[in-house]
Structure formats: structure tokens, C-alpha cells
Amino acid sequence: MKMTGAQALIKALEMEGTEVMFGLPGGCILPAYDPLLDSSIRHILVRHEQGAGHMAEGYAHVTGRPGVAMVTSGPAATNMVTPLCDAYMDSIPMVCITGQVPTSAIGTDAFQECDTVGITRSVTKHNELVMSAQDLPLAIRQAFHIATTGRPGPTLIDIPKDVLQNSMEWHWPTDAEVIDSLPGYRPTMKGHPRMIKEAARLILESERPILYVGGGVLKARAAEALVELAELTNIHVVTTLMARGAFPDSHPLCLGMPGMHGNATAITAMQQSDLLVALGARFDDRITGKVSSFAQQAKIIHVDIDPAEQGKVRRPDVPIVGDCRLVIEEIVKAIRELLATGSTQADTAVWKSRISGWREQFPLSYEPSEPGEALKPQFCLEALRDSAPPDTILVSGVGQHQMWSSQYWRFDKPYTWVNSGGLGTMGFSVPAAIGAKVGRPDATVWAIDGDGCFQMTAQELVTASTERIPVKVAILNNSYLGMVRQWQEMFYEERYSEVYLSPDTPDFVKWAEAMGCVGIRVDSPEEVQPAIDKANSIDDRPVVVDFRVAASEKVFPMVPAGFGNDDLLLPPSQMARKEFLR
Amino acid sequence: MSVTSTTSQPNYHILSVLVQNRSGVLARVAGLFARRGYNIFSLAVAPTEDEALSRITVVVDVESTPLEQIVKQLFKLIEVVKISELDPRRSVERELLLATVRATCDDRGQVVELANIFEGKILAVGVDAITVSLDGHPDKLDDFEELLRGYGIVELQRTGRVALPKLDREARLRAVKGKVV
């Protein structure tokens, strides 16, 4: 069957199961937008290409399916660099299609030409400039295959305008053709049996074990297997920022988030453990603090599908390369076999009582506001959490509000938490929330944002209004770049440099209304609940709630950058009993 | 005049990287080294007997970064098909050197003699300069270069080394593809 490259592109996207794509047309990608009119694919027209990228990420986060974005050449492609890098850092499956100037114009500095493949090479798992219409179906299949298998990540296909216009003979490559075309790409799925046995043995021998769970568990859809492993061995679990929801916060074995702003128990349990079972986690600097003082007595079992993560930061005693779900299932099986053949698990009672002591002594805490004082952001989050319908998806930007969201929310299901962890992209939440809502229209989606973040990508609420995507945005408005302010207060002797925004400019309520949303402003504690109830009751348009919160509030606990995890700073009310953290 | 030998130094390793012969592959490999802060001593790229594949022979500085991390990151590139670490003691290495040396009629004879001793070739002779070539083990090229320096090197170009495992019984080609080295 003869068709144009553009028709082949759209057909290939359909064949890959694409239901929705996020994008914005322009000169070079124009030919692809014509057959889109006749396609089953829903296209969401964004207001800025960065928004398309983050929407694709949000969609991928909550559905597990690759997010698809399509934009034109030049500035559109460069606007896509941030989302691509974000997806690369957080291993989000995403396929990006960019237009390119015609093949005859490549290299001539033509209008809206840029070296898209060159620019995005280091922020994609793979990218490709397709020079012939005939090659398009295979290129698209490869892009989806690479994005979704192994360690997931973003891929980009750059297509010159004439390649979209040229005629080709349709051919849909078989799985075997795709595999054969990528001789260097064979992700390891199954863990090494000897290593798995060794891991099982170490787990049973350990007196102070911790399951250190990262985002890879979610990518591998291993949440159920993880619960089985934790319950079988009765080992406590910490879930990193990228893994919130991978293990239910309501589970008695869940210790919550470790790391720079983790809770004291999760941080200390890792520090004091004799065995860290790292599952799809990468020993990020925000988790380890100073590496040389991180969990010094712990042996390490490191399960990761990416061999390059093994030994990158901390040398594992038992490296296991493989898919987290398959490996965890095998470890469970190996443990059951050991137990069945007479092995017993070491006594962890002392360890467990130490952990419960820490939990009792060092809960997350903040000072509630006195009457007449400004709202506390944590109070707003608690109210949002307690009023949230079941299965609510929480999306956050980057900064203080992100840490409070992770700390104070209760995540009981996987894929209900969407945030920018690795790259720390301010402005992530509004578009990512829109993408999440598109992927899960049945679920309530709350975006928690800062006033700084919101101003970076708020224009996408126009997209949400016009496309009828009713997300809810809670701005924790402290009129500061809050996290920077916190660092300047604590580490720069309160010398505040370029961190003050303005509480009243812009007027967030008017801005929300101008974008077709409902805008609500909240100044006092008694206004909090009615505002949340109203927001939760609106389901036909986006809602923005401007919570005016205390500017001086800081995120605790905190491990200052460059320090070890033993040097964590507790909330002021708990500092006096820090000695109990041993 | 000192003669240096690098064969026994453990601070470099030779990686023989088999890649799909596609545009942009070299940029990917070079970009990865740059982005991750790895140092390259030399690099040589050429097609292999299979036209779908090219071989990149890269000599890497492993003082700054463990070889294992470099290999694993390289292997994450989709177009990298296979990576072999060649032990310098168990592989044959060759490199080509071209040099134009200042040589008037007084010392032209000495340069020619030097080239002959090293089994190099005289490529061009001018009034006050002479262009020579030498191929061989990089150490031999180092020695030659050092000796030429006394006459005054006008221009010099080396290709970077290429290498294959030795065929003798002790030859060990450690395939490190996707495994912990």
C-alpha cells in the first residue's frame, strides 16, 4: 500500500497503541498534522512545547504506557529539551516526534533549523534522524521498543519535512525485524540464579535489614511482588521520592521517604542497617548524603535493570542485573526454598524495637499556626490529603512544596504520585498533572505547586480549560522561591538574594479565571476546608486554589548538602532528643 | 633524549568497540566521554569486514574513572554491539606516524638513516625539510618521534592506535559486554 511518510508516521503511532499525543504544529511538522485529522489518536494542543513534553511524562507516569509528544523543528525542539532530560533522569518512557527542515536544507542554517539529534543526544535513551520515508515504520517501532523496555527512557525521532511528504510502500516490521535491527540492545531481564540465591541467604542472615525501594520498582510494576517480599521476611521498607506509592504508606512495615528531606526513621534505619536491599534505586546523592559516611555497616544487594548503576556510587556485595519484578519474585522463591529446607531467619526483634522507638520519638512535625498567624503549608496539605477522594493522583513541582507533599501525603497505591525527581524541573506540575488526568480521567488529580513553579508553566491551564481536562492546582504561595530561601536562611546567614517574588503579582485568582479556571484564594485556616470542598466538587473545569502560606516555614528533617546522614537536622522541637537516633 | 615506554603502565586501557555503522555513532561515543568526564588518549574508527559494523579503537585514561563504569556506560548506547577490553600485553597494536622534519643537506643523511633504522619511509624531500612515515607499535613511534625532535619537527600527525588480540594460545580477549568486569 502506497502512502506518504506523514500517513505512515500516524499509522505507525496508531499501530503502537497511541491513544493520545501532546503537541503543537509548525512549519516542518505540518505534513504530519494533516493525516492526524483522520486518525483515532486524540491530539492535545498545548500552549508551549515544554508543556507537551511534561504532559507526555505525566501520562506515562500514571499509565505505564509511553507518552507521545509531537512538535516542529528548531525552537520547538529546543523547548522539548527540558522534558526529555527530565524523562531521561527519571526513566520515563516517552516518544518524541520532531519535524526537521527538508533533507536538502539540512546543514544550511535554514529557517527553524537546529541540530535536534545533536542537541538531544545526551538527554535521550536513543534518537534518530530519519532520512527516508521508507524507514519511518521501523524507526517508530524501534523508538517505542527502546523507550519501553530495559530501563525506560525518552526517545526522539527527527523527521525532515520532505520525508513526511515523500511516498513510501507501507510495511509494518515484525518483532523479529525490530530486534534484529538493534543487535546492540538486549536488556537483561532475568537475574543471575547464583546471585539470587546469595541475596536470599544474606536477607535471612541479616539482623538489621532494610528494603531500599526506588522508582525502578514502579517501572517494573513490581509493587505486588515487593509486598510479598516485605511480608514474607518482615523487613521494613523505605520508599524514595521516585518510589512513593510503590509500597503502601499505611502498611506497618513502611517507613516512608529517606534522603535529604526524608523522615528521621527512614534515614536512620538506612544508616544503621547491616543490609540494604536496593530495589530499582540508584544511590542518588539526595539519598546517600556524603557517600563515605552512608550506611557504613551495610552490605548491599543491588537489583537494577541498568548494569551501569551497579557500582556507580556504592560497590554492591550482591549485584543483580534484571527486571525488579522478576528478580523480586525469584528472591521470594529462593527464600521460601531456604526456609523449607531448614534455614531460619536471623532474629530481628532488637532492630524492630529500635525502629519503632524512632518512629515514636521522631514523627514528622511542624508548629501549627497561632490564631492570626499565616497558614502553614503542611496544614493545607493535611487538609487536602484528608479530603482527597480515593485513588487521587498527586502531582508536584519542585521545591519545598514537593518535599512537604511527599512527606505529608499518604500514598497507598502505586502510580498515584508524579513528580520531577532527578532533574528537579520547576514548572513540572501543571503540565504533568494535565497529562496524568488525560491518562486517568477517572481519578482526581491534584497538582501541588509553588508560586515560583506555577509561574513557569501556568499557561498550560489554558490547554486544560479548552480541552476540558479538569485538574486541580493548589498553589502553596509563600511569595518566595521557598527552598532557595530556606538555604539562604540556613547556609547564607539570612542574606536573601533574589528569592522574593510577590504575594499579589500576579493575582493568581484573576489569572486562573482568565485561563478559564475557577480561582479560589485562601488566607486563613477556616477558609481551607471550604475551599478544598469546593475545588473537589468542581469537575467540569480546572480549579486553582491560591493558599497564602507562611513564608518562613522550612522543610525538616534536613540533611544539609555535603553532610552525612548522621548529621540530619530535625525539626527544632525534636533536636533536643537527637541522641535517641542511635 | 629519553625514550619512553607506555606498554607497562596500567593507567590506560584499550577498548575495541564494535558499533553499528550508522551516522552519528562516533558523535555518541565522543559525546558520552565528554559528558561523563572520561578522558580519551586516542581514537581510531574504521569499517570492519562486515559493512554493517565499524570498529572504534579507543585508548582510555582509567586514572580518573574506573574502566568498569566507562564500559557499562558505553554499552548503554543502543548502537554499541560489543565491547572488548584488549590487554596491551596480549594484543597487537599498530599506529601510523607522518612527520615533516627540518633537514638541510647537512643533516638530511642522518634523518634518512634514522628512518631506515626504524624501517620508516621517506615520502618527500625538500630543500630544508623532509617528510617521513613510520608505522608500527606505538612505543616504537614514541621513540622515533623523540629522536626526530632533535632535528626540529615542522609538523607531525599520528593516527591513534588500532589493535587486535594476539592469535597465540595465551591470547585472551575479555568480552566485557554487559557484565561486571
- What is the domain partition of chain B in residue ranges? 12-91, 93-162
CB of A18 closer than 8 Å to CB of A56: no
Q: Which of A122, A183, A321 sits opposite B20 (nearest CB)?
A: A183
Predicted local confidence at residue A520, as pLDDT: 98
pLDDT at A60 over 70: yes
Asked if residue A120 and residue A7 are part of one domain, the reply reads yes
- Residues of A designated catalytic: 49, 111-112, 161, 483
B41 falls in which pLDDT band (50, 70, 90)? confident
Predicted local confidence at residue B87, as pLDDT: 82
Asked if residue A14 and residue A85 are part of one domain, the reply reads yes
Asked if residue A344 and residue A302 are part of one domain, the reply reads yes
Predicted local confidence at residue A436, as pLDDT: 98
pLDDT at A369 over 50: yes
Among A321, A312, A217, A121, residue whose Cα is nearest residue B78: A121
CATH of the domain at A258: 3.40.50.1220
CA–CA distance from A497 to each of A24, A124, A158, A194 (Å)? 37, 35, 41, 55
B39-57 mean pLDDT: 91
Predicted local confidence at residue A7, as pLDDT: 98
CB of A88 closer than 8 Å to CB of A123: yes
DSSP sequence for A420-476: --SS--TT-HHHHHHHHHHH-TTS-EEEEEEHHHHHHHTTHHHHHHHTT---EEEEE
pLDDT at A443 over 80: yes
pLDDT at A410 over 80: yes
d(CA A216, CA A256): 16
pLDDT at B45 over 60: yes
pLDDT at B177 over 90: no
Do B82 and A312 lie within an 8 Å CB cutoff? no
Predicted local confidence at residue B13, as pLDDT: 87
Q: Which three cell numbers stand for residue A506?
A: 500576579
B39 falls in which pLDDT band (50, 70, 90)? confident
Among B135, B113, B131, residue whose Cα is nearest residue B122: B131
Cβ contacts from A onto B, under 8 A: 49
Q: CA-nearest residue of chain A to B80?
A: A184
Share of chain A above pLDDT 90, in %: 98
* Domain annotation covers residue A571: no
ipTM of the shown complex: 0.89
B45-73 mean pLDDT: 88
Predicted local confidence at residue B11, as pLDDT: 74
| Residue in A135, A300, A312, A314 to test binding to B, most B beta-carbons within 10 Å | A312
Q: Which residues of chain A neighbour B37 with C-beta distances below 8 Å?
A: none
Do B179 and A182 lie within an 8 Å CB cutoff? no
Fold adopted by B12-91: Alpha-Beta Plaits (3.30.70)
pLDDT at A223 over 90: yes
Same fold, B12-91 and B93-162: yes
A496-516 mean pLDDT: 96
Q: CA-nearest residue of chain A to B75?
A: A184
In the beta sheet, which residues pair with residue A359?
A: none
A51 falls in which pLDDT band (50, 70, 90)? very high
Residues with Cβ within 8 Å of A514's Cβ and at least 6 positions away in sequence, in order, are none
Asked if residue A83 and residue A36 are part of one domain, the reply reads yes
Predicted local confidence at residue A113, as pLDDT: 98
Do A183 and B81 lie within an 8 Å CB cutoff? yes
* Chain B residue set in contact with A, beta carbons under 8 Å: 19-20, 23-24, 27-28, 31-32, 35, 66, 68-69, 72-73, 75-82, 178-180
CB of A428 closer than 8 Å to CB of A398: yes
Asked if residue A221 and residue A140 are part of one domain, the reply reads no
Among A474, A325, A470, A397, residue whose Cα is nearest residue A57: A397
Q: CA-nearest residue of chain B to A314?
A: B69
Predicted local confidence at residue A254, as pLDDT: 98
* Domain annotation covers residue A187: no
C-alpha distance from A100 to closest chain B C-alpha (Å): 16
Predicted local confidence at residue B181, as pLDDT: 37
Show the 3-state SS of A154-165. EEEEEEEHHHHH
* Domain annotation covers residue A304: yes
Do A311 and B69 lie within an 8 Å CB cutoff? yes
CB of A246 closer than 8 Å to CB of A180: no
B64 falls in which pLDDT band (50, 70, 90)? low
Q: Which residues of chain A neighbour B179 with C-beta distances below 8 Å?
A: 307
Alpha helical stretches, state H, chain B: 25-36, 67-76, 105-117, 138-149
Do B73 and A308 lie within an 8 Å CB cutoff? yes
* Domain annotation covers residue A14: yes
Domain extent at residue A315:
193-361
Q: Which of B24, B82, B178 sits opposite A307 (nearest CB)?
A: B178
pLDDT at B168 over 80: no
d(CA A206, CA A342): 17
Predicted local confidence at residue A503, as pLDDT: 83
Asked if residue A199 and residue A169 are part of one domain, the reply reads no
Q: Which residues of chain A neighbour B178 with C-beta distances below 8 Å?
A: 186, 188, 307, 321
Q: Which of B24, B78, B180 sits opposite A184 (nearest CB)?
A: B78
Predicted local confidence at residue B88, as pLDDT: 79
Which stretch of A29-38, A260-269, B81-90 has the lowest confidence by average pLDDT? B81-90
Residues with Cβ within 8 Å of A184's Cβ and at least 6 positions away in sequence, in order, are B19, B20, B75, B77, B78, B79, B80, B81, B82
pLDDT at B172 over 50: no
C-alpha distance from A182 to closest chain B C-alpha (Å): 7
Asked if residue A423 and residue A393 are part of one domain, the reply reads yes
Q: CA angle, corner A565, sides to A562 and A571, nearest 5?
A: 100
Do B24 and A308 lie within an 8 Å CB cutoff? no
Share of chain B above pLDDT 70, in %: 86
Residues with Cβ within 8 Å of A152's Cβ and at least 6 positions away in sequence, in order, are A66, A91, A92, A93, A125, A219
Share of chain A above pLDDT 70, in %: 100
pLDDT at A543 over 70: yes
Residues with Cβ within 8 Å of A579's Cβ and at least 6 positions away in sequence, in order, are none
Q: Which residues of chain A neighbour B72 with C-beta distances below 8 Å?
A: 307-308, 310
C-alpha distance from B50 to closest chain A C-alpha (Å): 13
Q: Which residues of chain A neighbour B69 with C-beta distances below 8 Å?
A: 308, 311-312
Predicted local confidence at residue A268, as pLDDT: 97
As a whole number, the mean pLDDT across chain A is 97
Task: State the CB neighbour count (10 A cutoff) for residue A67.
Answer: 33
Do B180 and A307 lie within an 8 Å CB cutoff? yes
B3-27 mean pLDDT: 76
Q: Which three cell numbers stand for residue A114?
A: 537546529
Q: Which residues of chain A neighbour B75 with C-beta distances below 8 Å?
A: 184, 307-308
d(CA A16, CA A188): 23
A157-173 mean pLDDT: 98
C-alpha distance from A308 to closest chain B C-alpha (Å): 5
* Domain annotation covers residue A188: no
Fold adopted by B93-162: Alpha-Beta Plaits (3.30.70)
Predicted local confidence at residue B169, as pLDDT: 57
Q: Which three cell numbers stand for residue A558?
A: 534536613
Q: CA-nearest residue of chain A to B179?
A: A307
Q: CA-nearest residue of chain A to B24?
A: A118
* Domain annotation covers residue A575: no
Do B23 and A129 lie within an 8 Å CB cutoff? yes
Q: Which of A117, A121, A312 sits opposite B69 (nearest CB)?
A: A312
C-alpha distance from B164 to closest chain A C-alpha (Å): 20
Q: Which residues of chain B neighbour A185 with C-beta distances below 8 Å?
A: 78
Q: CA-nearest residue of chain A to B32?
A: A122
A412-416 mean pLDDT: 97
Asked if residue A174 and residue A304 are part of one domain, the reply reads no
C-alpha distance from A257 to closest chain B C-alpha (Å): 28
Q: Which residues of chain A neighbour B180 with C-beta distances below 8 Å?
A: 307, 310-311, 319
Asked if residue A130 and residue A216 are part of one domain, the reply reads no
In the beta sheet, which residues pair with residue A319?
A: A302
Report how many domains make up chain A: 3
- Percentages helix, strand, coil for chain A (3-state, rounded to 5) are 45, 15, 40
A246-254 mean pLDDT: 98
Asked if residue A263 and residue A121 are part of one domain, the reply reads no
* Chain A residue set in contact with B, beta carbons under 8 Å: 117-118, 121-122, 125-126, 129, 146, 182-186, 188, 306-308, 310-312, 319, 321
Residues with Cβ within 8 Å of A543's Cβ and at least 6 positions away in sequence, in order, are A470, A471, A472, A473, A512, A517, A518, A519, A520, A534, A535
| Residue in A126, A135, A138, A283 to test binding to B, most B beta-carbons within 10 Å | A126
Q: CA angle, corner A567, sides to A565 and A572, nearest 5?
A: 120
Predicted local confidence at residue A118, as pLDDT: 96
Task: State the CB neighbour count (10 A cutoff) for residue B63.
Answer: 10
C-alpha distance from A126 to closest chain B C-alpha (Å): 7
* Domain annotation covers residue A369: no
C-alpha distance from B143 to closest chain A C-alpha (Å): 38
**E strand map for B35-179:** 39-47, 53-61, 80-86, 91-102, 121-125, 129-136, 153-158, 162-165, 173-175
B170 falls in which pLDDT band (50, 70, 90)? very low
Asked if residue A53 and residue A10 are part of one domain, the reply reads yes
Asked if residue A281 and residue A167 are part of one domain, the reply reads no
pLDDT at A567 over 60: yes
Q: Which of B28, B72, B82 sits opposite A307 (nearest CB)?
A: B72
Predicted local confidence at residue A24, as pLDDT: 98
Do B78 and A146 lie within an 8 Å CB cutoff? yes
Among A480, A434, A476, residue whose Cα is nearest residue A457: A434
What digits encode the pLDDT tens for the residues A472-505? 999 999 999 999 999 999 999 999 999 999 988 9
